[in-house]
């Protein structure tokens, strides 16, 4: 990985892209320390720290500590992700949007514009929910205070959305993922300090042993995550020989690589965003005092410090099912067995022992389902790992599970894109 970064830095064009990404990430980190007006930061930080394993704590990690400061970037990129999910689902359900998506660059630009508009609407709703949810940490609860908080948070989300698009267009990698990656990495030191305090590292020998044990487990998880992200099933493909004029084409053997975790980190981000949205809406509807069925739904979507064991189990189940569901959803979008089978048939390719056409599509779908369920369950287990550890031992892991998966996944994907662009540069030089 370091060799790839070194080689990329030696190419002027790639070095410029890296510097653009670093500069925009620096702007993002600077904005994370600009608080919205009217907030008692001490009371807010105390509330967030008491809920490190719940969605408030996870959201604070994702936003790079911006949530504990309730800065203008407190909502991070979450509304944009939610808007993207909704537009993608509507594209499948509404024929007009599906037709638009197939119109090429112009159609994609229109869908991107719809996503931006929906992001602003969702950011407005979520910011109102945050303002009402955290009224206990406000100095004043008048209309002007709420208006300034909602306006600041919505504008901050719009600016982050613009930053992510600039990174994607002029930098390297996915801008949305890189913003989340930067937020998590910036909170690494704070997460380690929280873990030291939670395990009692400075108080006893058992505390030191517990801290070392958890660090070793996290390192093993990193190795496992890298293995799952890089693992792939290779389907052998044989191309039939054909004669065109005096030349013979085909006859070579190759393979179709099917990654064990084809969807990357997107299922984690999507599941987390979906879980957070109902909690915000419930706070908005109930004025931060959920009762009855609202109380049940709120604690099933938010594993807060005062949630009982039943709600914790329910939260883990719902979170895991969402991750598994979104893993299959994104895998189907990325890899269509019917389309791959048709392309093989058109080009004279076949899988040894499998007939071309529908049997090939069924075989590919069967293989895809088997490896996807393994990858999805693995990702879900890693994501709920901190909750399980806290429930059993009482130790709060500020950096684990969801954050670990996102950091490793984004790092691998960015390095892969760097490597691909390096290969393109070498080919360009060869052709010149």
What is the percentage of the chain residues whose pLDDT exceeds 70?
84
Q: What torsion do the CA atoms of 315, 317, 318, 320 make, to the nearest 10 degrees?
A: 110
In DSSP terms, 249 is beta-bridged to 242
Q: Are 340 and 348 spatial neighbours (Cβ–Cβ below 8 Å)? A: no
Strands 242-244 and 247-249: what pairing? antiparallel
Among the residues of 94-234, which ranges form H helices?
95-101, 105-133, 143-170, 175-186, 188-199, 205-230
pLDDT at 431 over 50: no
What CA–CA distances, in Å, run from 337 to 141, 204, 252, 261, 333?
56, 56, 22, 16, 10
Mean pLDDT on 328-344 = 84
More confident residue, 83 or 285: 83
Collapsing DSSP to helix, strand or coil, 291 comes out as: coil
pTM for the full predicted model: 0.74
The encoded tokens of residue 87 equal 């537009």
Q: Are 272 and 117 spatial neighbours (Cβ–Cβ below 8 Å)? A: no
For the chain, domains (ranges, CATH) are: 2-431 (1.10.3370.10)
Residue 71 to residue 28: CA distance in whole angstroms: 11
**Residue 411: which region, alpha, beta or left (left: phi > 0; alpha: psi -120 to 50)?**
alpha
Q: pLDDT band at residue 159, thresholds of 50, 70 and 90?
A: very high
**Sheet strand arrangement including 349-350:** 253-259, 232-239, 349-350
The label of the residue with tokens 């959803």 reads 329
Residue 24 to residue 19: CA distance in whole angstroms: 9
Which of 66-80, 271-285, 289-303, 377-391 tops mean pLDDT?
377-391
Q: Give 200-244 pLDDT, tens digit per residue.
A: 777 888 878 888 888 888 888 888 888 888 888 888 888 776 656
pLDDT, residue 429, reads 46
């Amino acid at each position: 990985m370091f060799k790839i970064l070194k080689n990329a830095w030696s190419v002027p064009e790639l070095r410029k892209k890296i510097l653009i990404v670093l500069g925009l990430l620096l702007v993002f980190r600077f904005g994370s320390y600009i608080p919205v007006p009217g907030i008692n930061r001490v009371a807010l930080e105390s509330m967030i720290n008491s809920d490190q394993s719940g969605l408030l704590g996870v959201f604070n990690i994702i936003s790079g500590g911006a949530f504990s400061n309730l800065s203008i970037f407190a909502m991070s990129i979450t509304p944009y992700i939610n808007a993207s999910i909704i537009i993608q689902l509507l594209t499948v359900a509404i024929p007009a949007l599906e037709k638009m998506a197939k119109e090429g660059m112009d159609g994609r630009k229109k869908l991107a514009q719809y996503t931006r508009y929906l992001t602003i609407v969702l950011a407005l709703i979520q910011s109102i929910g945050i303002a009402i949810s955290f009224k206990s940490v406000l100095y004043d609860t008048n209309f002007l205070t709420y208006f300034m908080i909602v306006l600041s948070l919505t504008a901050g989300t719009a600016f982050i959305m613009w930053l992510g698009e600039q990174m994607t267009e002029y930098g390297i990698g996915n801008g949305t993922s890189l913003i989340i990656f930067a937020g998590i990495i910036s909170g690494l030191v704070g997460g380690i300090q929280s873990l030291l305090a939670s395990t009692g590292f400075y108080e006893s020998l058992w505390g030191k042993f517990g801290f070392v044990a958890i660090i070793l487990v996290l390192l093993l998880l990193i190795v496992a995550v890298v293995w799952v992200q890089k693992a792939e099933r290779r389907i052998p493909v044989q191309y039939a020989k054909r004669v065109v004029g005096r030349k013979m084409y085909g006859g070579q053997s190759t393979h179709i690589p099917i990654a064990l975790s084809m969807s990357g980190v997107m299922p984690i981000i999507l599941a987390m965003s979906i879980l957070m949205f109902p909690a915000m809406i419930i706070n908005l509807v109930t004025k931060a005092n959920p009762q009855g069925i609202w109380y049940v739904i709120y604690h099933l979507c938010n594993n807060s410090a005062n949630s009982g064991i039943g709600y914790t189990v329910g939260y883990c189940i719902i979170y895991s099912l969402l991750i598994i569901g979104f893993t299959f959803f994104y895998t189907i979008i990325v890899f269509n067995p019917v389309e791959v089978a048709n392309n093989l048939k058109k080009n004279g390719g076949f899988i040894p022992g499998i007939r071309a056409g529908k049997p090939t599509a069924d075989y590919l779908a069967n293989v895809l389902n088997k490896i996807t369920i393994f990858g999805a369950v693995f990702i879900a287990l890693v994501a709920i790992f901190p909750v399980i550890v806290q429930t059993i031992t009482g130790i709060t892991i500020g950096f684990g599970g969801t954050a670990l998966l996102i950091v490793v996944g984004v790092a691998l994907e960015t390095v892969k894109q760097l490597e691909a662009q390096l290969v393109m540069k070498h080919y360009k030089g060869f052709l010149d």
